Amino acid sequence: RKEVEQDPGPFNVPEGATVAFNCTYSNSASQSFFWYRQDCRKEPKLLMSVYSSGNEDGRFTAQLNRASQYISLLIRDSKLSDSATYLCVVNGDSSYKLIFGSGTRLLVRP
Amino acid sequence: DADVTQTPRNRITKTGKRIMLECSQTKGHDRMYWYRQDPGLGLRLIYYSFDVKDINKGEISDGYSVSRQAQAKFSLSLESAIPNQTALYFCATSAGGGPHTDTQYFGPGTRLTVL
């Protein structure tokens, strides 16, 4: 079983749609959770950290469910510019060691 | 100017050649990392360094070596390149601190092809 699992997609949605991605992780001792965004052939960039109580940043909402060991990302009112691959990232056995999921690809169409 | 730079951006080489990938940062971070990314797989950690005198192996260090020449510079070497080292390589930096604050910042990547 992979340490961090994501549905690779692609998720193909129209502009303005709401879309949600889930990610599961295997290490119950993980303490840090993040969503990174990666555009084609570019470097990953931090989208948002995920806190236990859930957090929101504009159109983006992240949730953490420790009991079920999954993280979610909700994107409201999708824009064409949201088209990218979204990487779920979890820390491993210490804060520095990040485990990356293979990513979920999102395509937003006009 | 970019905070984390990598050179070269693209490289094609032959099996058995020695290759060095370089990373420089102006963020003033102590921690630096090297990852590789393969299609369909997540980024995997090759080596990491918490300061100039600290070098640690990641999960896939075989066939690679690193050098931390200064706080701002971290190089990755492939002593004898092989085709399955064809991948996209990323350098990253972080400032340390608690788990929620140790955000990693990535360079633009080096696309390496080993023929």
Tell me the shortest Cα–Cα distance from A87 to chain B, in angstroms. Answer: 8
Condensed to tens digits (0 to 9), the pLDDT of residues A15-70 reads 999 999 999 999 888 888 999 999 998 999 999 999 888 899 999 999 999 999 99
CA distances from B40 to A5, A44, A102, B92 (A): 11, 15, 6, 20
Q: What angle do CA A59, A63, A66 make, to 5 degrees?
A: 170
Confidence of residue B95 (pLDDT cuts 50, 70, 90): confident
Name the DSSP class of A91: E
8 Å CB contact of B107 and A43: yes
Confidence at residue B8, expressed as pLDDT on a 0 to 100 scale: 97
Instruction: Tell me the residue type at B38.
Output: D
Q: What is the pLDDT of residue B100?
A: 62
Residues of B in contact with A46 (CB under 8 A): 103-105
- What's the confidence (pLDDT) of residue A53? 85
Give which of B37, B48, B55 to mutate to test A binding, by max A Cβ within 10 Å: B37
- How far is the CA of B112 from the CAs of A104, B15, B30, B93, in angstroms? 24, 12, 26, 20
Q: Let me know if A16 is exposed, middle or buried by CB neighbors in 10 A (0-12, 13-18, 19+).
A: exposed
What whole-number distance in Å separates Cα of residue A31 and Cα of residue A1?
20
pLDDT of residue B115: 95
What's the gap in Å between the CA of A32 and the closest CA on chain B?
Answer: 6
Instruction: Give the minimum alpha-carbon distance from B7 to chain A in angstroms, rounded to a whole number.
Output: 14
A41 near B CB under 8 A:
yes
d(CA B94, CA B96): 6
What are A73-108's pLDDT values in tens digits?
999 999 999 999 999 999 876 656 788 999 999 999
Is the separation of the CB atoms in A109 and A10 below 8 Å?
A: no
